[in-house]
Amino acid sequence: MSITEDEARKVAHLARIAVADADLPALAQELNGILHFMEQLNEVDVEGVEPMTGVEPMRLKRREDVVTDGEQQDLVLKNAPDAREGFFAVPKVVE
Amino acid sequence: MSDLNKLTISGARDALAKGETTAVELTEACISAIEGSGALNAFVHNTPEMARDMAAAADARIKAGDAKAMTGIPVGVKDLFCVKGVPSQSASRILEGFVPQYESTVTQNLWDQGAVMLGKLNQDEFGMGSSTENSVYGPTVNPWKLGDGVDRTAGGSSGGSAAAVAADLCLAATATDTGGSIRQPAAFTGTVGLRPTYGRVSRWGVIAYASSLDQAGPITKTVRDAAIMLGAMASVDAKDSTSADRPVPDYESALTGDIRGKKIGIPKEYRIDGLSDEIDGLWSRTAEMLRDAGAEVVDISLPHAKYALPAYYVIAPAEASSNLARYDGVRYGRRAKLGAGDGVVEMYERTRAEGFGPEVQRRVMVGTYVLSAGFYDAYYNRARRVRALIKRDFDQAYAAGIDAILAPTTPSAAFGLGTADKSNPVEMYLNDVFTVTLNLAGLPGISVPVGLDKQGLPLGMQLIGRPWDEGGLLNLAQSLETAAGFASKPARWW
Protein backbone atom coordinates (compact mmCIF):
# COMPACT_ATOMS: atom_id res chain seq x y z
CA MET A 1 0.00 0.00 0.00
CA SER A 2 1.22 3.47 -0.71
CA ILE A 3 -0.01 6.83 0.53
CA THR A 4 -0.74 9.60 -1.97
CA GLU A 5 -0.64 13.33 -1.21
CA ASP A 6 -4.42 13.36 -0.99
CA GLU A 7 -4.40 10.54 1.53
CA ALA A 8 -1.71 12.31 3.55
CA ARG A 9 -3.96 15.38 3.65
CA LYS A 10 -6.84 13.23 4.83
CA VAL A 11 -4.76 11.60 7.60
CA ALA A 12 -3.49 14.99 8.78
CA HIS A 13 -7.06 16.25 8.98
CA LEU A 14 -8.24 13.14 10.86
CA ALA A 15 -5.37 13.72 13.31
CA ARG A 16 -6.35 17.42 13.57
CA ILE A 17 -2.87 18.60 12.64
CA ALA A 18 -2.56 21.48 10.16
CA VAL A 19 -0.11 20.58 7.35
CA ALA A 20 0.67 23.10 4.60
CA ASP A 21 0.07 21.84 1.04
CA ALA A 22 3.76 22.34 0.26
CA ASP A 23 4.67 19.87 3.02
CA LEU A 24 2.35 17.08 1.88
CA PRO A 25 4.75 15.34 -0.58
CA ALA A 26 7.44 14.98 2.12
CA LEU A 27 4.85 13.78 4.64
CA ALA A 28 3.50 11.18 2.22
CA GLN A 29 7.03 9.95 1.57
CA GLU A 30 7.81 9.63 5.29
CA LEU A 31 4.58 7.80 6.02
CA ASN A 32 5.26 5.45 3.12
CA GLY A 33 8.71 4.63 4.51
CA ILE A 34 7.21 3.75 7.89
CA LEU A 35 4.34 1.72 6.39
CA HIS A 36 6.78 -0.14 4.18
CA PHE A 37 8.74 -1.08 7.32
CA MET A 38 5.53 -2.38 8.94
CA GLU A 39 4.78 -4.60 5.96
CA GLN A 40 7.23 -7.20 7.29
CA LEU A 41 4.32 -8.22 9.51
CA ASN A 42 2.63 -9.70 6.45
CA GLU A 43 5.17 -12.55 6.51
CA VAL A 44 3.77 -13.87 9.79
CA ASP A 45 1.10 -16.56 9.83
CA VAL A 46 -1.47 -15.18 12.28
CA GLU A 47 -4.26 -17.57 11.34
CA GLY A 48 -6.31 -18.45 14.43
CA VAL A 49 -4.34 -16.09 16.73
CA GLU A 50 -6.44 -13.73 18.85
CA PRO A 51 -5.27 -10.09 18.91
CA MET A 52 -3.54 -9.39 22.22
CA THR A 53 -5.40 -6.79 24.26
CA GLY A 54 -3.50 -6.79 27.53
CA VAL A 55 -0.35 -8.13 29.09
CA GLU A 56 -2.00 -9.91 32.02
CA PRO A 57 -5.08 -12.06 31.46
CA MET A 58 -6.98 -10.11 34.08
CA ARG A 59 -10.36 -8.50 34.25
CA LEU A 60 -10.29 -4.78 34.84
CA LYS A 61 -10.86 -3.98 38.47
CA ARG A 62 -14.31 -2.90 39.58
CA ARG A 63 -15.23 -0.65 42.47
CA GLU A 64 -18.34 0.67 44.13
CA ASP A 65 -20.10 3.27 41.98
CA VAL A 66 -19.63 6.13 44.40
CA VAL A 67 -18.16 9.63 44.21
CA THR A 68 -14.51 9.50 45.33
CA ASP A 69 -13.44 12.90 44.12
CA GLY A 70 -14.95 16.19 43.00
CA GLU A 71 -15.73 19.75 44.10
CA GLN A 72 -12.47 20.89 42.47
CA GLN A 73 -13.71 23.22 39.76
CA ASP A 74 -11.00 25.81 40.40
CA LEU A 75 -8.21 23.23 40.19
CA VAL A 76 -9.69 21.66 37.06
CA LEU A 77 -9.87 25.03 35.30
CA LYS A 78 -6.53 26.29 36.56
CA ASN A 79 -4.51 25.28 33.47
CA ALA A 80 -7.14 26.23 30.88
CA PRO A 81 -5.98 28.64 28.14
CA ASP A 82 -9.40 30.32 28.39
CA ALA A 83 -11.82 29.73 31.30
CA ARG A 84 -14.86 31.89 31.98
CA GLU A 85 -17.56 31.73 34.60
CA GLY A 86 -16.57 28.25 35.66
CA PHE A 87 -16.38 26.81 32.14
CA PHE A 88 -13.77 26.06 29.46
CA ALA A 89 -14.25 28.62 26.67
CA VAL A 90 -13.74 27.81 22.96
CA PRO A 91 -14.41 29.64 19.68
CA LYS A 92 -17.99 29.57 18.45
CA VAL A 93 -18.92 26.02 17.34
CA VAL A 94 -22.50 26.51 16.08
CA GLU A 95 -23.69 29.47 14.00
CA MET B 1 32.49 13.74 53.76
CA SER B 2 33.34 15.10 50.32
CA ASP B 3 31.63 14.60 46.96
CA LEU B 4 28.36 13.61 48.60
CA ASN B 5 26.58 13.76 45.22
CA LYS B 6 28.73 10.82 44.09
CA LEU B 7 27.23 8.49 46.70
CA THR B 8 24.93 5.61 45.83
CA ILE B 9 21.50 5.35 47.47
CA SER B 10 22.70 2.51 49.71
CA GLY B 11 25.91 4.38 50.61
CA ALA B 12 23.99 7.55 51.46
CA ARG B 13 21.38 5.61 53.43
CA ASP B 14 24.09 4.03 55.57
CA ALA B 15 25.91 7.35 56.06
CA LEU B 16 22.66 9.06 57.07
CA ALA B 17 21.85 6.26 59.52
CA LYS B 18 25.28 6.56 61.13
CA GLY B 19 24.99 10.35 61.31
CA GLU B 20 28.05 10.83 59.08
CA THR B 21 26.12 13.25 56.89
CA THR B 22 22.70 14.89 56.67
CA ALA B 23 20.03 15.08 54.00
CA VAL B 24 20.63 18.84 53.85
CA GLU B 25 24.34 18.33 53.08
CA LEU B 26 23.58 15.66 50.47
CA THR B 27 21.01 17.92 48.87
CA GLU B 28 23.31 20.97 48.79
CA ALA B 29 26.00 18.86 47.08
CA CYS B 30 23.53 17.84 44.38
CA ILE B 31 22.16 21.39 43.96
CA SER B 32 25.65 22.75 43.32
CA ALA B 33 26.43 19.86 40.94
CA ILE B 34 23.24 20.70 39.02
CA GLU B 35 24.09 24.40 38.92
CA GLY B 36 27.38 23.57 37.19
CA SER B 37 25.84 21.18 34.68
CA GLY B 38 24.16 23.49 32.16
CA ALA B 39 26.20 22.06 29.26
CA LEU B 40 24.61 18.63 29.79
CA ASN B 41 21.04 19.98 29.57
CA ALA B 42 19.83 17.14 31.80
CA PHE B 43 17.85 19.10 34.42
CA VAL B 44 15.24 21.33 32.77
CA HIS B 45 13.17 22.60 35.73
CA ASN B 46 15.11 22.97 38.98
CA THR B 47 13.36 22.97 42.36
CA PRO B 48 16.12 23.88 44.87
CA GLU B 49 13.77 25.49 47.41
CA MET B 50 11.51 22.47 47.44
CA ALA B 51 14.59 20.26 47.78
CA ARG B 52 15.88 22.21 50.79
CA ASP B 53 12.52 22.02 52.57
CA MET B 54 12.19 18.29 51.88
CA ALA B 55 15.78 17.66 53.03
CA ALA B 56 15.18 19.48 56.33
CA ALA B 57 12.03 17.42 56.87
CA ALA B 58 14.00 14.23 56.07
CA ASP B 59 16.66 15.11 58.64
CA ALA B 60 13.96 15.61 61.26
CA ARG B 61 12.49 12.24 60.34
CA ILE B 62 15.88 10.51 60.59
CA LYS B 63 16.45 12.11 63.99
CA ALA B 64 13.03 10.87 65.13
CA GLY B 65 14.03 7.31 64.16
CA ASP B 66 11.39 7.10 61.43
CA ALA B 67 13.67 6.74 58.39
CA LYS B 68 12.68 4.59 55.38
CA ALA B 69 15.06 3.33 52.67
CA MET B 70 14.86 6.53 50.60
CA THR B 71 14.55 9.12 53.38
CA GLY B 72 16.84 12.03 52.59
CA ILE B 73 17.91 10.67 49.17
CA PRO B 74 17.98 13.45 46.51
CA VAL B 75 16.49 12.30 43.20
CA GLY B 76 15.68 13.71 39.77
CA VAL B 77 12.29 13.15 38.13
CA LYS B 78 11.68 12.62 34.40
CA ASP B 79 9.62 15.53 33.08
CA LEU B 80 6.58 13.37 32.27
CA PHE B 81 5.78 12.60 35.94
CA CYS B 82 3.22 15.09 37.23
CA VAL B 83 4.56 16.82 40.33
CA LYS B 84 2.11 19.17 42.00
CA GLY B 85 3.07 22.80 41.48
CA VAL B 86 6.12 22.02 39.29
CA PRO B 87 6.05 22.46 35.48
CA SER B 88 5.51 19.02 33.90
CA GLN B 89 5.34 19.07 30.12
CA SER B 90 6.77 15.78 28.83
CA ALA B 91 9.28 17.94 26.90
CA SER B 92 6.48 19.18 24.64
CA ARG B 93 5.67 22.71 23.53
CA ILE B 94 1.98 21.83 23.71
CA LEU B 95 2.21 21.56 27.53
CA GLU B 96 4.09 24.84 27.92
CA GLY B 97 3.00 26.49 31.14
CA PHE B 98 1.15 23.39 32.41
CA VAL B 99 1.47 23.10 36.19
CA PRO B 100 -0.17 19.94 37.60
CA GLN B 101 -2.60 20.38 40.46
CA TYR B 102 -2.08 16.79 41.58
CA GLU B 103 0.75 14.33 42.17
CA SER B 104 1.66 11.16 40.26
CA THR B 105 1.51 8.00 42.40
CA VAL B 106 5.20 7.21 41.78
CA THR B 107 6.43 10.60 43.00
CA GLN B 108 3.94 10.56 45.90
CA ASN B 109 5.36 7.16 46.94
CA LEU B 110 8.89 8.61 46.82
CA TRP B 111 7.96 11.70 48.84
CA ASP B 112 6.12 9.48 51.37
CA GLN B 113 9.41 7.63 51.82
CA GLY B 114 11.18 10.95 52.41
CA ALA B 115 13.05 11.25 49.09
CA VAL B 116 14.11 14.77 48.05
CA MET B 117 12.94 16.37 44.76
CA LEU B 118 15.77 18.13 42.89
CA GLY B 119 13.92 18.94 39.66
CA LYS B 120 12.62 17.70 36.33
CA LEU B 121 14.75 15.86 33.77
CA ASN B 122 14.96 16.11 30.00
CA GLN B 123 13.48 13.48 27.67
CA ASP B 124 12.19 12.97 24.15
CA GLU B 125 8.79 14.61 23.66
CA PHE B 126 6.10 12.31 25.14
CA GLY B 127 8.77 9.58 25.31
CA MET B 128 8.96 9.32 21.52
CA GLY B 129 12.59 8.98 20.56
CA SER B 130 15.87 7.24 21.26
CA SER B 131 18.23 10.21 21.62
CA THR B 132 16.51 13.00 23.63
CA GLU B 133 16.85 15.13 20.50
CA ASN B 134 13.05 15.37 20.12
CA SER B 135 12.76 17.72 23.09
CA VAL B 136 11.41 21.26 23.35
CA TYR B 137 14.31 21.92 25.74
CA GLY B 138 16.96 20.86 23.18
CA PRO B 139 19.06 17.66 23.40
CA THR B 140 20.73 16.26 26.49
CA VAL B 141 24.48 15.74 26.04
CA ASN B 142 26.05 12.49 27.25
CA PRO B 143 28.61 13.12 30.04
CA TRP B 144 30.82 10.53 28.32
CA LYS B 145 33.01 12.49 25.91
CA LEU B 146 36.06 11.21 24.05
CA GLY B 147 39.17 12.95 22.74
CA ASP B 148 37.30 13.60 19.47
CA GLY B 149 35.22 16.24 21.28
CA VAL B 150 31.98 14.96 19.71
CA ASP B 151 28.77 15.59 21.67
CA ARG B 152 27.05 12.20 21.96
CA THR B 153 23.51 11.30 22.84
CA ALA B 154 22.66 10.06 26.32
CA GLY B 155 20.01 7.91 24.63
CA GLY B 156 16.29 8.31 24.93
CA SER B 157 13.70 8.83 25.79
CA SER B 158 14.99 9.03 29.40
CA GLY B 159 18.28 10.67 28.34
CA GLY B 160 18.08 13.39 31.00
CA SER B 161 17.61 10.82 33.77
CA ALA B 162 20.54 8.70 32.58
CA ALA B 163 22.89 11.67 32.06
CA ALA B 164 22.03 13.14 35.47
CA VAL B 165 22.80 9.86 37.27
CA ALA B 166 26.00 9.23 35.26
CA ALA B 167 27.22 12.77 35.97
CA ASP B 168 26.40 12.49 39.72
CA LEU B 169 23.90 15.37 39.61
CA CYS B 170 21.54 13.24 41.69
CA LEU B 171 21.80 9.87 43.43
CA ALA B 172 19.13 8.28 41.23
CA ALA B 173 16.30 9.24 38.89
CA THR B 174 12.85 8.11 37.83
CA ALA B 175 12.33 7.15 34.19
CA THR B 176 9.82 5.35 31.97
CA ASP B 177 10.23 2.63 29.36
CA THR B 178 7.74 2.13 26.50
CA GLY B 179 10.12 0.56 23.96
CA GLY B 180 13.49 0.73 25.70
CA SER B 181 13.54 4.26 27.12
CA ILE B 182 15.04 3.22 30.48
CA ARG B 183 17.45 0.51 29.34
CA GLN B 184 18.96 2.13 26.21
CA PRO B 185 19.93 5.42 27.95
CA ALA B 186 21.32 3.41 30.90
CA ALA B 187 23.48 1.40 28.47
CA PHE B 188 24.71 4.60 26.76
CA THR B 189 25.75 6.23 30.05
CA GLY B 190 27.19 3.36 32.12
CA THR B 191 24.25 3.32 34.54
CA VAL B 192 21.74 0.67 35.65
CA GLY B 193 18.21 0.90 34.22
CA LEU B 194 15.32 -1.30 35.39
CA ARG B 195 11.99 -1.63 33.62
CA PRO B 196 9.57 -3.58 35.84
CA THR B 197 6.76 -5.96 34.81
CA TYR B 198 3.78 -4.12 33.29
CA GLY B 199 1.46 -3.29 36.18
CA ARG B 200 4.11 -3.28 38.92
CA VAL B 201 4.37 0.52 39.06
CA SER B 202 1.33 2.80 38.84
CA ARG B 203 0.86 4.89 35.69
CA TRP B 204 -1.37 7.40 37.51
CA GLY B 205 -0.10 10.91 36.83
CA VAL B 206 2.49 9.77 34.27
CA ILE B 207 1.85 11.66 31.03
CA ALA B 208 0.88 8.83 28.67
CA TYR B 209 2.54 7.72 25.43
CA ALA B 210 1.31 4.15 24.76
CA SER B 211 -0.72 2.86 27.68
CA SER B 212 -0.33 -0.90 27.12
CA LEU B 213 3.47 -0.54 26.97
CA ASP B 214 4.39 2.35 29.34
CA GLN B 215 5.99 1.40 32.63
CA ALA B 216 8.03 3.49 35.06
CA GLY B 217 11.25 2.37 36.73
CA PRO B 218 14.52 3.69 38.18
CA ILE B 219 17.88 4.65 36.66
CA THR B 220 20.57 4.22 39.31
CA LYS B 221 24.31 3.81 39.85
CA THR B 222 24.14 0.21 41.10
CA VAL B 223 21.86 -2.82 40.96
CA ARG B 224 21.33 -2.61 44.74
CA ASP B 225 20.09 0.96 44.30
CA ALA B 226 17.67 -0.21 41.58
CA ALA B 227 16.28 -2.77 44.05
CA ILE B 228 15.85 -0.11 46.76
CA MET B 229 14.27 2.44 44.45
CA LEU B 230 11.89 0.01 42.73
CA GLY B 231 10.62 -0.95 46.18
CA ALA B 232 9.91 2.72 46.86
CA MET B 233 8.25 3.43 43.47
CA ALA B 234 6.05 0.32 43.23
CA SER B 235 2.63 0.04 44.84
CA VAL B 236 -0.84 -1.36 44.39
CA ASP B 237 -2.85 1.63 43.20
CA ALA B 238 -6.62 1.90 42.89
CA LYS B 239 -6.13 4.93 40.62
CA ASP B 240 -4.54 2.77 37.88
CA SER B 241 -6.87 -0.01 36.72
CA THR B 242 -3.88 -1.96 35.31
CA SER B 243 -1.93 -1.80 38.56
CA ALA B 244 -1.40 -5.40 39.71
CA ASP B 245 -2.95 -6.63 42.95
CA ARG B 246 0.31 -8.02 44.24
CA PRO B 247 2.11 -6.95 47.40
CA VAL B 248 5.49 -5.25 46.82
CA PRO B 249 8.25 -7.58 48.03
CA ASP B 250 11.53 -6.48 49.64
CA TYR B 251 13.69 -6.49 46.50
CA GLU B 252 16.92 -5.75 48.34
CA SER B 253 16.63 -8.95 50.37
CA ALA B 254 16.51 -10.88 47.08
CA LEU B 255 20.14 -9.88 46.44
CA THR B 256 21.68 -13.03 47.88
CA GLY B 257 24.59 -13.25 45.46
CA ASP B 258 23.72 -16.91 44.87
CA ILE B 259 22.68 -17.71 41.30
CA ARG B 260 23.70 -21.38 41.25
CA GLY B 261 21.40 -23.52 39.16
CA LYS B 262 19.68 -20.58 37.45
CA LYS B 263 19.04 -21.15 33.77
CA ILE B 264 19.96 -18.33 31.40
CA GLY B 265 18.70 -18.35 27.81
CA ILE B 266 20.62 -16.92 24.86
CA PRO B 267 18.13 -16.15 22.06
CA LYS B 268 19.66 -16.98 18.68
CA GLU B 269 17.34 -14.52 16.89
CA TYR B 270 19.16 -11.63 18.61
CA ARG B 271 22.31 -12.39 16.59
CA ILE B 272 21.23 -9.91 13.95
CA ASP B 273 23.15 -8.92 10.83
CA GLY B 274 25.43 -6.02 11.52
CA LEU B 275 25.89 -6.73 15.23
CA SER B 276 29.44 -5.58 15.94
CA ASP B 277 32.07 -8.18 16.85
CA GLU B 278 32.72 -6.14 19.94
CA ILE B 279 29.17 -6.42 21.28
CA ASP B 280 28.99 -10.05 20.20
CA GLY B 281 32.22 -10.75 22.11
CA LEU B 282 30.93 -8.96 25.18
CA TRP B 283 27.75 -11.02 25.00
CA SER B 284 29.78 -14.26 25.08
CA ARG B 285 32.00 -13.01 27.90
CA THR B 286 29.05 -11.99 30.08
CA ALA B 287 27.40 -15.38 29.47
CA GLU B 288 30.68 -16.91 30.64
CA MET B 289 30.62 -14.75 33.79
CA LEU B 290 27.15 -16.00 34.68
CA ARG B 291 28.27 -19.59 34.03
CA ASP B 292 31.29 -19.10 36.29
CA ALA B 293 28.93 -17.90 39.02
CA GLY B 294 27.05 -21.19 38.80
CA ALA B 295 24.29 -20.49 36.28
CA GLU B 296 23.51 -22.78 33.39
CA VAL B 297 23.59 -21.05 29.98
CA VAL B 298 21.49 -22.54 27.18
CA ASP B 299 20.54 -21.51 23.64
CA ILE B 300 16.87 -20.71 23.14
CA SER B 301 14.68 -19.58 20.28
CA LEU B 302 12.25 -16.66 20.20
CA PRO B 303 11.05 -17.18 16.61
CA HIS B 304 8.96 -14.00 16.35
CA ALA B 305 11.53 -11.63 17.88
CA LYS B 306 12.36 -10.06 14.51
CA TYR B 307 8.77 -8.85 14.15
CA ALA B 308 8.76 -7.01 17.47
CA LEU B 309 10.03 -3.74 16.01
CA PRO B 310 7.45 -3.39 13.20
CA ALA B 311 4.66 -4.56 15.57
CA TYR B 312 5.76 -1.95 18.12
CA TYR B 313 5.76 0.81 15.51
CA VAL B 314 2.12 0.00 14.70
CA ILE B 315 0.81 -0.47 18.25
CA ALA B 316 2.65 2.38 20.01
CA PRO B 317 1.64 5.09 17.47
CA ALA B 318 -1.95 3.76 17.46
CA GLU B 319 -2.19 4.15 21.23
CA ALA B 320 -0.37 7.49 21.06
CA SER B 321 -2.80 8.90 18.50
CA SER B 322 -5.62 8.12 20.92
CA ASN B 323 -3.82 9.29 24.10
CA LEU B 324 -2.62 12.54 22.53
CA ALA B 325 -6.09 13.47 21.27
CA ARG B 326 -6.52 15.23 24.62
CA TYR B 327 -4.11 18.00 23.59
CA ASP B 328 -6.59 20.21 21.80
CA GLY B 329 -5.98 23.66 23.27
CA VAL B 330 -9.08 23.52 25.48
CA ARG B 331 -8.26 22.19 28.93
CA TYR B 332 -4.54 22.75 29.47
CA GLY B 333 -1.33 23.82 27.82
CA ARG B 334 -0.95 25.86 24.70
CA ARG B 335 -3.64 27.23 22.41
CA ALA B 336 -2.70 28.71 19.01
CA LYS B 337 -3.54 32.38 18.37
CA LEU B 338 -6.65 32.47 16.23
CA GLY B 339 -7.70 34.89 13.50
CA ALA B 340 -11.10 36.48 13.10
CA GLY B 341 -13.62 33.90 11.92
CA ASP B 342 -11.49 30.90 12.94
CA GLY B 343 -13.57 28.13 14.42
CA VAL B 344 -12.90 25.26 16.77
CA VAL B 345 -11.43 22.97 14.07
CA GLU B 346 -8.82 25.61 13.12
CA MET B 347 -8.05 25.93 16.82
CA TYR B 348 -7.40 22.18 17.13
CA GLU B 349 -5.38 21.90 13.93
CA ARG B 350 -3.16 24.92 14.52
CA THR B 351 -2.64 24.22 18.21
CA ARG B 352 -1.48 20.70 17.46
CA ALA B 353 0.65 21.76 14.45
CA GLU B 354 2.60 24.29 16.51
CA GLY B 355 2.52 22.36 19.80
CA PHE B 356 3.76 18.94 18.67
CA GLY B 357 7.27 18.39 17.33
CA PRO B 358 7.89 16.56 14.01
CA GLU B 359 8.33 13.03 15.45
CA VAL B 360 5.19 13.30 17.59
CA GLN B 361 3.19 14.58 14.61
CA ARG B 362 4.53 11.70 12.54
CA ARG B 363 3.55 9.05 15.11
CA VAL B 364 0.12 10.57 15.73
CA MET B 365 -0.53 10.50 11.98
CA VAL B 366 0.81 6.94 11.56
CA GLY B 367 -1.39 5.88 14.48
CA THR B 368 -4.39 7.65 12.97
CA TYR B 369 -3.76 5.89 9.66
CA VAL B 370 -3.43 2.35 11.07
CA LEU B 371 -6.63 2.83 13.10
CA SER B 372 -8.62 4.33 10.25
CA ALA B 373 -11.47 2.52 8.50
CA GLY B 374 -10.16 0.04 5.96
CA PHE B 375 -6.70 -0.31 7.51
CA TYR B 376 -7.55 -1.33 11.08
CA ASP B 377 -7.41 -5.06 10.34
CA ALA B 378 -4.49 -4.93 7.93
CA TYR B 379 -2.21 -3.03 10.32
CA TYR B 380 -3.46 -2.68 13.87
CA ASN B 381 -5.16 -6.05 14.36
CA ARG B 382 -2.36 -7.86 12.55
CA ALA B 383 0.21 -6.20 14.81
CA ARG B 384 -1.77 -7.21 17.90
CA ARG B 385 -1.90 -10.82 16.69
CA VAL B 386 1.87 -10.79 16.10
CA ARG B 387 2.21 -9.35 19.60
CA ALA B 388 0.36 -12.39 20.98
CA LEU B 389 2.87 -14.66 19.18
CA ILE B 390 5.83 -12.69 20.56
CA LYS B 391 4.47 -13.11 24.08
CA ARG B 392 3.87 -16.81 23.45
CA ASP B 393 7.57 -17.25 22.53
CA PHE B 394 8.55 -15.93 25.97
CA ASP B 395 5.85 -17.95 27.75
CA GLN B 396 7.23 -21.12 26.15
CA ALA B 397 10.84 -20.28 27.06
CA TYR B 398 9.91 -19.67 30.70
CA ALA B 399 7.68 -22.77 30.81
CA ALA B 400 10.74 -24.75 29.70
CA GLY B 401 12.55 -23.64 32.85
CA ILE B 402 14.45 -20.54 31.72
CA ASP B 403 14.90 -18.03 34.57
CA ALA B 404 16.16 -15.08 32.52
CA ILE B 405 17.33 -14.17 29.04
CA LEU B 406 20.66 -12.47 28.30
CA ALA B 407 21.08 -10.14 25.31
CA PRO B 408 22.80 -6.87 24.40
CA THR B 409 20.83 -3.73 25.32
CA THR B 410 21.75 -1.79 22.18
CA PRO B 411 23.28 -2.59 18.78
CA SER B 412 26.00 0.08 19.30
CA ALA B 413 27.47 2.49 21.83
CA ALA B 414 26.18 6.09 22.09
CA PHE B 415 26.11 7.86 18.72
CA GLY B 416 26.82 11.50 17.93
CA LEU B 417 24.05 14.10 18.32
CA GLY B 418 22.65 15.25 14.98
CA THR B 419 23.98 12.24 13.06
CA ALA B 420 20.61 10.58 12.41
CA ASP B 421 19.16 10.90 8.92
CA LYS B 422 16.10 13.11 9.44
CA SER B 423 14.49 12.00 6.20
CA ASN B 424 14.55 8.35 7.33
CA PRO B 425 12.85 8.00 10.74
CA VAL B 426 13.03 4.19 10.54
CA GLU B 427 16.82 4.36 10.98
CA MET B 428 16.35 5.77 14.50
CA TYR B 429 13.69 3.14 15.26
CA LEU B 430 16.30 0.39 14.75
CA ASN B 431 17.93 1.47 18.00
CA ASP B 432 15.14 -0.26 19.87
CA VAL B 433 15.65 -3.64 18.17
CA PHE B 434 16.80 -5.46 21.36
CA THR B 435 14.59 -3.62 23.83
CA VAL B 436 11.03 -3.48 22.41
CA THR B 437 10.39 -7.23 22.51
CA LEU B 438 9.90 -7.33 26.27
CA ASN B 439 7.64 -4.25 26.28
CA LEU B 440 5.27 -6.10 23.94
CA ALA B 441 5.32 -9.11 26.27
CA GLY B 442 5.06 -6.91 29.41
CA LEU B 443 8.19 -8.42 30.98
CA PRO B 444 10.76 -6.92 33.36
CA GLY B 445 14.24 -6.13 32.05
CA ILE B 446 17.40 -4.54 33.36
CA SER B 447 20.45 -3.07 31.64
CA VAL B 448 23.74 -3.47 33.49
CA PRO B 449 26.97 -1.66 32.46
CA VAL B 450 29.57 -4.32 31.71
CA GLY B 451 32.45 -2.61 29.93
CA LEU B 452 33.83 0.03 27.58
CA ASP B 453 34.13 -0.31 23.83
CA LYS B 454 37.41 0.26 21.95
CA GLN B 455 36.77 3.99 21.87
CA GLY B 456 36.08 4.15 25.60
CA LEU B 457 32.27 4.41 25.61
CA PRO B 458 30.14 2.32 27.99
CA LEU B 459 28.19 -0.74 26.82
CA GLY B 460 25.35 -2.49 28.59
CA MET B 461 23.94 -6.00 28.65
CA GLN B 462 20.31 -6.73 29.27
CA LEU B 463 18.68 -9.43 31.37
CA ILE B 464 15.00 -10.16 30.73
CA GLY B 465 13.14 -11.80 33.62
CA ARG B 466 10.02 -13.79 34.31
CA PRO B 467 6.88 -11.76 34.96
CA TRP B 468 6.80 -10.45 38.59
CA ASP B 469 10.25 -11.90 39.31
CA GLU B 470 12.07 -8.57 39.64
CA GLY B 471 13.77 -9.98 42.76
CA GLY B 472 15.31 -12.92 40.89
CA LEU B 473 16.21 -10.65 37.97
CA LEU B 474 17.96 -8.14 40.24
CA ASN B 475 19.91 -10.94 41.91
CA LEU B 476 21.18 -12.16 38.53
CA ALA B 477 21.95 -8.58 37.49
CA GLN B 478 23.96 -7.99 40.63
CA SER B 479 25.95 -11.14 40.00
CA LEU B 480 26.72 -9.85 36.50
CA GLU B 481 27.59 -6.40 37.90
CA THR B 482 30.02 -7.92 40.39
CA ALA B 483 31.66 -10.18 37.80
CA ALA B 484 31.99 -7.41 35.17
CA GLY B 485 33.40 -4.99 37.76
CA PHE B 486 32.49 -1.90 35.72
CA ALA B 487 33.77 1.07 37.72
CA SER B 488 34.51 3.73 35.06
CA LYS B 489 33.06 7.22 35.34
CA PRO B 490 33.00 9.94 32.69
CA ALA B 491 35.78 12.52 33.11
CA ARG B 492 34.22 15.87 33.98
CA TRP B 493 34.32 18.38 31.08
CA TRP B 494 31.04 20.25 31.69
Supply the pLDDT for residue B1.
63
Confidence of residue B196 (pLDDT cuts 50, 70, 90): very high
* Residue B372 annotated as catalytic: no
Tell me whether A67 touches chain B (CB under 8 Å).
no
ipTM of the complex: 0.95
Compare CB distances from A90 to B347, B385, B426 and report the shortest one's residue: B347
- CA atoms B143, B149, B151, B154: torsion sign: negative
* pTM across the whole model: 0.97
Q: Which chain A residues contact residue B352 at CB under 8 A?
A: 15-18
Give the length of chain B: 494
Task: Answer yes or no: are the C-beta atoms of B160 and B153 closer than 8 Å.
Answer: no
What single-letter DSSP state applies at residue A15? T
Q: Which amino acid is at B54?
A: M
Q: Does the beta-carbon distance from B313 to A16 stay under 8 Å?
A: no
Reference B122, options B94, B95, B89, B98; nearest CA is B89
Residue B420 has pLDDT above 80, yes or no: yes
> Tens digits of per-residue pLDDT, A18-71?
999 999 999 999 999 999 999 999 999 999 999 998 777 777 778 899 998 889
Query: Cα(B444)–Cα(B462) distance, rounded to whole angstroms?
Result: 10
> What is the model's pLDDT at position A69?
86
In this complex, is the C-beta atom of B387 within 8 Å of any C-beta atom belonging to chain A? yes
> pLDDT over 70 for what percent of chain B?
100
Q: Is B78 a catalytic residue?
A: yes
Query: How sure is the predictor about A1, in pLDDT bands with cuts at 50, 70 and 90?
Result: low
- Averaged pLDDT, B318-340: 96
- In this model, does residue B301 exceed pLDDT 90? yes
Which sequence spans correspond to the domains of chain B?
4-261
Of B199, B353, B383, the CB nearest to A55: B199
- Give the start-to-end residue ranges of the domains of chain A: 5-43
Residues in B closer than 8 angstroms to A82, CB to CB, are 335
Task: Tell me the CATH number of domain B4-261, given options 3.40.50.2000, 3.90.800.10, 3.90.1300.10, 3.30.70.360.
Answer: 3.90.1300.10
Q: Are residues B45 and B86 in contact, defined by beta-carbon separation less than 8 angstroms?
A: yes
